[in-house]
Structure formats: C-alpha cells, structure tokens
Amino acid sequence: MASEPKIPKRSSEHVSQDLEFITIPGDALDRTPKTLDSVSEKGVGTAPSPNAAPQKPMARGSWSLALVTLSLALGTFLIALDTTIVGIAIPTITTQFHSLDDIAWYGSAYLITLTALQPSFGRIYKLYSVKNTYLACVAVFEVGSIICASAPRSAVFIVGRAIAGCGAAGLFQGALNIITNTVPLQKRPQYMGIVISVFGISACVGPVLGGAFTQGVSWRWCFWVNVPIGAFTFFLVLIFLKHKEDKPHPGTILEQMKQLDPIGAATIIAAVCCLFLALQWGGHSKPWKSATIIGLFIGFGMLFFFFCFAQYKMGENATTPLRVLRQRSILFGALFLFSSAMSAYVYGYYLPIYFQSIKGSSPTKSGLQFMALALPQIFALILAGALTTKWGHYVPYMIVGTAINVVGSGFLITLDTDTPTLKWAAYMVVTGIGTGIGVNLPYTAVQVVLPEIDIPLGNAISQFAYQLGASIGLAVGQTLFLNQLTSELSKRTSLVSPAAVIAAGASDLQRLAPTPELLRILLESYASAIRHALIFALAVVCLAFAFTFGMEHRNVKTAAEKGIVEGTNVQTREEA
C-alpha cells in the first residue's frame, strides 16, 4: 500500500486561522491562536517546548463568546427549522398553486442542493475565509427564503427552495469550522453540543409554528420568519468575529479551480440528483420497476463510481482526499451518522403520523407530543458534550448512548392503537436520551483525529453522510409504510380502497369510515404500517451500534493538553 501523503509544515505567517473573538471592554476575550510547528520526519507532532506558554482555558462569561455561540446556534436553527416547518404548509401551498404534481419537488429541490454541496463546502472552507464563506451562505439562504415567501407560482417556489438549499449546505459546516477556529480543542464538544441541540428544538417548535402560520396568517410566513433570524445571525457574526486573513493565497484562477475539484464536485452533485429523483419518484409518480427509476439508479451507481475514481486520481486536490476517508474514526463516524440519520428522520416523520392518525391529534398537538423525544434528546446532547469536555473520552458515550437508543427503538415497535400515554411517552424519552448522547460525538472525533487543516474536509464527509442517510431513510420508511398499509387494507376490507386512504392523509381517516368497525380497521392498518417503518428504524440503530466499535478510543482532554492531534500540528489558544 502506498504511503499516505504528508502534510507539509506551515510557517507561522501562513497559519490557517481566520477567526478570533472581538475584544469587548469590561470582559474582553482577545486571543491570538498560535500554532505548534513541531512535526517530526515521520509526521508526528511533538509536545510544546518547556518554554512555550501553556494553553489557557477560554474565558467564561464573555459576552463575545455568548453572542458568537448564539449566532451559530441561530444559523443552524435556520436549517433545522426549514426542514420541520415546511411539511405542515405543503398541502396549503399545493392548493394555492394548483400544483399537486410538483409536491415532490418542494422537498427534493431543497434536499438535493443541501446534500450534494456538502463535499464541495468542505473544500471551500479549507481554502477560503471561514467567516466570509459563512456570511455568504447566510445571505444565499436568505435570498432563497425570500423567493419562496414571495413566489407567485410553483416553479418560482421550487427555484427558491433549491437556492435556500445551496445556502443551508454551508451553514452547519460553517458553524463547526468556526468552533474549530475559535474554541480550544478540549472545550469544542461542549460548544458543538449546544449548536447541534437546536435540531431537537426545531423538531418541537417547527410543526407548531408551521401550523400556527398556515392556519392563522399565511403559509408564506413559514419562509418570511427566516429573514429576521438570518439577518440577526449575519450581523452577530459580522460584528463579533474579527476577521484576520492569514490563509495562504489560493493562487491563480486556474489553480483555484483545480483545488476546488470541479470534476469531482459536478459528478457527486449529478449522482445525488439521480439518487434523490429515484427515491422521490419511485413508488409514487412512477413504479419502482419502471425504466426511468431503474435508469436513475444505474446513473447514480455509474456516477458515484466515477466520483470515487476521480478522487483517487486527484490526490490532495480531491473533494474528498482518500487519506482522510481512510482514517478509521472518520469512516466509521460517517457510517454511524448515516445510520443514525435514517432512524432519526423515521422517528421525526412517522411518530407525528402515529399521533395524528391513531391518537387523533392535530398537527400542532402532535408537535407538542413529539417533545417527549426531542426534549430528552436536547438534554442528553448537551450533557454528553459537557461530559466529554470534562473527562475527554467520547467513544464510550457513543456506545452507551446507542445501546440506550436500541432499547428505546425496541419499545417503539410495540406501539399500537391502544398504547397509553405513559407508555409511548416513556418509550420516546428513552429513545431521545440514547439519540442525544451519541449524535454529536462523531463530529468530536473529527476534531481529535485530523489535523486542523483537514477538519473542514472531515466535517463535510460527516455531514454528507448524515444528510444522505436522512434522505434514504425517509424513502425506505415511506416505501415500507405504504406497502404495508396497502397490503393490510387489501386483506381486511373492500369498503374503501387503499388509494383513497393514502390520498386522505393521516388526519382525515374518520371521514372515510362511516362505521366504527371500518374506522377500527383503518386505524389498525395504519398502526401496522407505522410499525414496519419503526422496525426499519430499529434495524439501522442496531447497525449504528455496530459501527461504534470501529471508532478509535481517543481522549479529547489528553490530545488538547499534549498539543497532539493525529501526528500533525494542533492549534492552541493563548492570551496575546
């Protein structure tokens, strides 16, 4: 096997470090990050010399730290909220635009760009200013939201969704990279936990806000709400992060194009488009066995193979250098996130359907009921980050958290029409705790096992795996749900067609059932279909549990104290 390419030493005047907190009188946090440039011939970083200033903890209670963390959480909240709030509004949007045939594009236009651009943003954040790139992503997301909010027809709305996805693709990665460049290694898990926890918050408030806006004002406010949040985020980052351009000049236009790997970027975007269209259309607008769906899957396979070949040939200029992906914790962390995302999105989609169909809840009430999973998840996520910061170990928490998730997921597959509130709430609490403990920690592994110059690439791989898993999980879950629902209804009644039940939606089953007996059959069929989707979620959680054993057992605290991160430079924080 050929040896991996070595990362060359960087002089102190070419340190890849863009951001620092702006000084605020009275409680200043003015830190100039330094970089150890102590790499042996074997590429292994050495400890700081005895004369070097010790790494000092970040000042607590600093207004600048609080405001920057708030801005990153708000930027991440934009992505998470857009995913959860729009589903409630889509039926009303299709009615206003008379565009039922376009309904699949309302979700896929956003998800395609959001997922496909993840690898490219890894390169962009590595080569260019983290702060400027993040601000550009906020601006692009805002433009897309404004287009959606003011769209006069369906085609314009779809374009706005695609543009919003382009901006969203860089927001979460940007938050992780800003944390990397401003927070000491030991404290990063805690801050990443705070930022990632907003995904759980959005799962609670998204459906509630979506229902309130759609029913009380207009569906357009589901997108107008992004504008003030995005503007506030933009100005917090602009004002409270002082920009210092220390990255080496990227070179000529041709050199920059080569470093951005346009062939690899175009190939993976095309591959993701083929996969998403196949998953969106398959079993709905077109049969799975149709030539179109088969052709899209074949196209995805060929393009993905070409992408892998191009990455091998491009070497260090690849969108995803193979030496990064060959790192064990990066590979297994990505597989863990891929599996975890499949289960998380199945829960986020089908548990509200359970409440609306079986329990008769409104969309707003089902959002409140989902808090039984989301709130423990938020608490566990923040707690896991704090414990990792204090003790340094993170893989044991991944193992324990995923094991708890397996137990909770096993309980959830027992849900039926008669499950009392105490039981389903307890099952969701256990599942939420397990999910929250583990979901943040693969991003922590990226911080520990990679040199800081490669952390944007590691973040991109991790987030691409998560988004891809989410999309595939929803498609598989929906296929299992619809197939089982159709099968159950066909066997148990001829009074109503499966197509009519599917078209009616989860919240309108009573209208189709003139008798209590028929309503019971419909509810039991729905419960059986939901159970099949939840069994799939249990299976992929078990898969995620297996992937935790592929992670390397590292210690964040030890790595931070020694100034060593996987044999290369690691930046330490010292007071100027």
Question: What pLDDT shows up at residue 186?
Answer: 82
Does the pLDDT of residue 244 top 70, yes or no?
no
Question: What pLDDT shows up at residue 10?
Answer: 38
Question: What pLDDT shows up at residue 488?
Answer: 87
- Mean pLDDT value across the chain: 80
Structural domain includes residue 214: yes
Does the pLDDT of residue 27 top 70, yes or no?
no
Q: Give the rounded percent of residues in the chain with a pLDDT score beyond 70.
A: 83
Does the pLDDT of residue 145 top 90, yes or no?
yes
Lowest mean pLDDT among 231-245, 337-351, 505-519: 505-519
From 250, 277, 308, give the residue that closes a domain: 250
How many CB atoms are closer than 10 A to CB 19? 22
Q: Which two tokens stand for residue 315?
A: 């070497």
Question: 148 with 75, same domain?
Answer: yes
Question: 159 with 300, same domain?
Answer: no
Can you tell me the mean pLDDT for 3-12? 41
Does the pLDDT of residue 76 top 50, yes or no?
yes
Structural domain includes residue 274: yes
Does the pLDDT of residue 415 top 80, yes or no?
yes
Question: 462 with 562, same domain?
Answer: yes
Question: What pLDDT shows up at residue 518?
Answer: 85
Lowest mean pLDDT among 9-18, 130-139, 374-383, 458-467: 9-18
Question: 367 with 351, same domain?
Answer: yes
Question: 284 with 235, same domain?
Answer: no
Does the pLDDT of residue 349 top 80, yes or no?
yes
Domain count, the chain: 3
From 250, 278, 298, give the residue that closes a domain: 250
Structural domain includes residue 530: yes
Give the count of alpha carbons within 13 A of 241, CB side only: 31
Question: What pLDDT shows up at residue 557?
Answer: 79
Can you tell me the mean pLDDT for 553-565? 72
Structural domain includes residue 178: yes
Does the pLDDT of residue 232 top 60, yes or no?
yes
Can you tell me the mean pLDDT for 16-43? 38
Question: 290 with 342, same domain?
Answer: no
Helix axes 395-412, 516-548, angle to 10 degrees: 160
Can you tell me the mean pLDDT for 496-508? 75
Question: What pLDDT shows up at residue 465?
Answer: 93
Question: What pLDDT shows up at residue 251?
Answer: 67
Q: Is 575 helix (H, G, I), strand (E, B) or coil?
A: strand
Does the pLDDT of residue 249 top 70, yes or no?
no
Lowest mean pLDDT among 197-201, 229-233, 430-434: 197-201
Q: What angle do CA 108, 113, 118 make, to 5 degrees?
A: 130
Could you list the residue range(s) of the whole structural domain that residue 275 is in? Answer: 262-318
- Give tens-digit pLDDT for 153-177: 989 999 999 999 999 999 999 998 8
pLDDT band at 329 (very low <50, low <70, confident <90, very high): very high
Residues with Cβ within 8 Å of 426's Cβ and at least 6 positions away in sequence, in order, are: 411
Lowest mean pLDDT among 466-475, 497-506, 549-558: 497-506
Does the pLDDT of residue 474 top 90, yes or no?
no
Does the pLDDT of residue 572 top 60, yes or no?
no
Does the pLDDT of residue 52 top 70, yes or no?
no
Question: What pLDDT shows up at residue 226?
Answer: 93
pLDDT band at 538 (very low <50, low <70, confident <90, very high): very high
Question: 272 with 390, same domain?
Answer: no
CATH code of the domain covering residue 494: 1.20.1250.20
Residue 357 CB-density burial (10 A; 0-12 exposed, 13-18 middle, 19+ buried): buried
Structural domain includes residue 9: no
- Give tens-digit pLDDT for 111-134: 888 888 888 898 888 888 889 999
Q: Which two tokens stand for residue 49?
A: 């010399």
Does the pLDDT of residue 330 top 80, yes or no?
yes
| Cα 51 off chain centre by | 42
Can you tell me the mean pLDDT for 177-182? 87
Lowest mean pLDDT among 18-32, 293-307, 521-535: 18-32
Question: 412 with 514, same domain?
Answer: yes
One-letter amino acid of 576: A
Question: What pLDDT shows up at residue 43?
Answer: 36
Question: What pLDDT shows up at residue 325?
Answer: 87
Question: 300 with 202, same domain?
Answer: no
Does the pLDDT of residue 565 top 80, yes or no?
no
Does the pLDDT of residue 204 top 80, yes or no?
no
Which residues face 565 on adjacent strands?
568
Can you tell me the mean pLDDT for 405-420? 94
Question: 369 with 462, same domain?
Answer: yes
Can you tell me the mean pLDDT for 407-415? 96
The DSSP line for 43-103 is: SPBPPPPTTSPPP-PPPTT-HHHHHHHHHHHHHHHHHHHHHHHHHHHHHHHHHHHT-GGGH
Question: 110 with 168, same domain?
Answer: yes
Does the pLDDT of residue 441 top 70, yes or no?
yes
Question: What pLDDT shows up at residue 9?
Answer: 41
Can you tell me the mean pLDDT for 252-256? 73
Q: Which two tokens stand for residue 380?
A: 């566990």
Give the whole-angstrom CA distance, residue 22 versus residue 31: 9
Give the whole-angstrom CA distance, residue 244 versus residue 426: 49
Lowest mean pLDDT among 266-275, 391-400, 423-432: 266-275
Structural domain includes residue 39: no
From 250, 276, 305, give the residue that closes a domain: 250
Cβ 554 vs Cβ 448: under 8 Å: yes
Question: What pLDDT shows up at residue 45?
Answer: 36
Question: What pLDDT shows up at residue 337?
Answer: 96
Structural domain includes residue 11: no
Structural domain includes residue 10: no
Question: 507 with 575, same domain?
Answer: yes
Question: What pLDDT shows up at residue 108?
Answer: 75
Question: What pLDDT shows up at residue 493?
Answer: 79
